[in-house]
Structures are given as structure tokens and as C-alpha cells.
Amino acid sequence: MKLTRIIARSVCALSLFMPIYAQSGVYEDILSAANQKDTNSVVGLLRRGMDVNTADAEGNTLLMISAREANLDLIRFLLDNRVNTQHRNRYGDTALMLASLLGHNDVVRLLLERKVEINHGGWNAFHYAVFEGHSEIVALMIGAGADVNMKAPNGQTPLMLASKRGHIQVVRLLVGANADAGVIDPEEGTARNMARKEGHTEITTFLEKAEGG
């Protein structure tokens, strides 16, 4: 009788740990499926109770992974199920920031259609798009209300970032959206000064005309 009780307690204790191991396996499965763009498997696991905001060890949520991998179907599902669009990974990036950095135009368009925030503090998706010269994304964000004069954490405006990097199309878009070409960086001067220093003649000439000489 005593042995029976001991066995029963052991079985009960083991059963308490089994869900933990099972959950750990499901956690790995859903992240693996997201990285492999296996939308059906991810959706199936979410419908079985997994958290829509599940994240990997670096803080990349399912939305961030699907944005990085340009998985539009999964992004739509996550957005329809109230995913946190402003979650940041350990590097401070959001899903919109990753899509902008990588130049995933369709992903950015979808996120903007769902009113994902652009003008938050720190580095943001608009800064990333400008820095990388993704002119179509820059245009989309301007249309969605991006602040064309919002300074990045290094104190430079989007126009300065584009001018230094030599992105003439982005410079044209920013000036066309009334970006202030007269803002002065204490160390490097105006956007035009930066373009001249980097040898970007076309941008320098364009900004001279934009500033009226």
C-alpha cells in the first residue's frame, strides 16, 4: 500500500513537469516554423494556445521574424489577432524597422496600412529607410505622416543622413516634403556641407538650389 502511494506521488510529480517540457518543444517549433516561413504550422500552434507575441532569445517576436522574412500571410494573421506591433528586440528594433532596413516594400506598405507607429523616439523605421536609401519606402512613409525633420539619436536629420550616404532620390523626396535643409549639426554643418565633404556633387548642387544658392 505504501509502495502504491509512493508510485502515485511520483507519477503525479512527473505529470507536473511534462507540460513544461511539452511547452518548451512547442516554443522551439513555432519559432522554427516562423523562420522557415511555414505559415500553416505557426497558425496551427497559435490556435492551440501559443502566445501571438512569442519571441526568441533575442526578443524577436513572430511579427518581427515574419517582417524580416517578408512573410505577408503570417503578418496579416498576426495583425488580425492583436499582435504587439511596437515590441522591440534586444537591439531596439521593431517589426517595421526591420522591414524598412531590409527594403521589404510590401511589408512596410501593409504595416503602414494597419497604422503602425512611425514617429517614435530613438532610431525609427523612417531613419532606417533613409539611411539605406530605400526611396520607395521613404515615399510610403512620407505619405503616411513620417516626420521628415525628426532627428536620429546621433542628432542628425533624415536629410543629413541621406546626403551623407549619397542617396539623391531620397534627398529629392525629403526636400519635396519640406525637409529643413538649413538645420546645422554642431560638428558637420548642414546637409549640404555633409554632401560636399563626402564628394556627392549632385546632391550638393541640388541642395544649393533648394536653399536658394
Average pLDDT per run of 10 along the chain, which is 213 residues long?
44 40 76 97 96 97 98 98 97 98 98 96 97 98 98 97 98 98 96 98 95 69
Q: How confident is the model at residue 213, as a pLDDT?
A: 54
For CATH 1.25.40.20, the residue range(s) in the chain are: 1-95, 118-213
DSSP of 31-60: HHHHHTT-HHHHHHHHHTT--TT-B-TT--
Q: How confident is the model at residue 130, as a pLDDT?
A: 98
One-letter amino acid of 210: A
Question: Rounded distance, CA 21 to CA 13, Å?
Answer: 13
Domain 118-213: top CATH class: mainly alpha
Question: Rounded distance, CA 41 to CA 33, Å?
Answer: 6
pTM assigned to the model: 0.87
Q: How confident is the model at residue 20, as a pLDDT?
A: 35
Q: CATH second-level architecture of 1-95?
A: Alpha Horseshoe (1.25)
